[in-house]
């Protein structure tokens, strides 16, 4: 087996599903590529971070509507954390879209989590914004989040902001680019440029 064939088989397909607090489906990313443990950056491997990559993936909303993502992305799932991070590789730089969410659950090649609406976005210029506080406030009443869930959400938001300020895992532009470029090399076939 040629070296390029061996490497291209190390990435497996995975699905990401987000749910609402009541268990209803929120959104699915249907084609992602799982970065194998042996290809994780050392600090990610040490922290147990799981990384999935996608490019022009089919996304299905809860109402059945489908659309294709416009930019490549790397999704980072950190064990036990009440957030996950999606690094979007845009023309002007990397935008980090951070979901305040339950810790992920993985079953085979499917990653699931509960989305709690609050989001933090870090733009390529360093600007950080909180989004969807109104949606969170509406859903905390509608879904009756209990005191424990609210405390975990607050703690997750604080821990996320701390990681952003310190630029700790997974907020490393070079690492994101490296994951994407290495994966992209495996997607090129000898019969294509």
User: What is the per-residue pLDDT across 46-59, written as a single tens digit (0 to 9) for each?
Assistant: 999 999 999 999 99
From 26, 27, 21, select the one nearest 143 (Cα to Cα).
Answer: 21
Q: What angle do CA 28, 101, 172 make, to 5 degrees?
A: 90
Which CATH number is 3-184 given?
Answer: 2.40.380.10
**Helix residue spans in 36-113 (DSSP H):** 42-47
- CA dist 90 to 35, 73, 121, Å? 20, 9, 14
Q: Answer yes or no: is pLDDT of 7 > 60.
A: no
Q: What is the pLDDT of residue 143?
A: 94
Q: Looking at residue 187, what is its pLDDT?
A: 82
Catalytic residue (one of 12, 27, 60, 178): 27
pLDDT tens digit sequence for 116-147 = 999 999 999 999 999 999 999 999 999 999 99
- DSSP one-letter code for 39: G
DSSP 142: H
CA–CA separation, 88 and 54 (whole Å) = 10
pLDDT in tens, 83-94: 999 999 999 999
**Residue 175, pLDDT score:** 96
Is beta strand 73-77 parallel, antiparallel or unpaired with respect to 83-90? antiparallel
Own/partner contacts of 62-65, CB < 8 Å, gap of 24 or more, are 62/24, 62/25, 62/26, 62/27
Using pLDDT thresholds of 50, 70 and 90, give the confidence band for residue 10: confident
Q: What is the mean pLDDT of residues 74-82?
A: 98
What SS3 state is found at 158? helix
- 158-185 pLDDT, tens digit per residue, is 999 999 999 999 999 999 999 999 999 9
Report domain extents, the chain.
Answer: 3-184
Respond yes or no: is residue 27 known to be catalytic. Answer: yes
pLDDT score at 193? 46
């Amino acid at each position: 087996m040629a070296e390029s064939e061996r490497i291209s088989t190390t990435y497996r397909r995975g699905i990401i599903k987000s749910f609402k607090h009541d268990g209803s489906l929120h959104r699915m990313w249907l084609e992602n590529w799982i970065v194998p443990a042996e290809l994780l950056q050392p600090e990610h491997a040490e922290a147990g971070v799981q990384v999935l990559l996608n490019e022009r993936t089919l996304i299905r909303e809860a109402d059945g509507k489908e659309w294709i993502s416009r930019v490549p992305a790397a999704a980072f799932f950190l064990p036990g954390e009440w957030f996950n991070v999606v690094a979007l590789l845009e023309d002007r730089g990397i935008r980090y879209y951070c979901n305040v969410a339950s810790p992920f659950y993985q079953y085979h090649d499917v990653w699931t989590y509960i989305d709690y609406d609050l989001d933090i976005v870090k733009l390529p210029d360093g600007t950080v914004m909180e989004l969807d506080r109104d949606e969170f406030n509406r859903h905390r009443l509608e879904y009756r989040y209990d005191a424990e869930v609210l405390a975990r959400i607050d703690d997750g938001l604080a821990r996320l902001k701390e990681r952003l300020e310190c630029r700790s895992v997974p907020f490393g532009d070079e690492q994101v680019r490296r994951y994407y470029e290495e994966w992209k090399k495996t997607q090129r076939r000898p019969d294509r440029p």
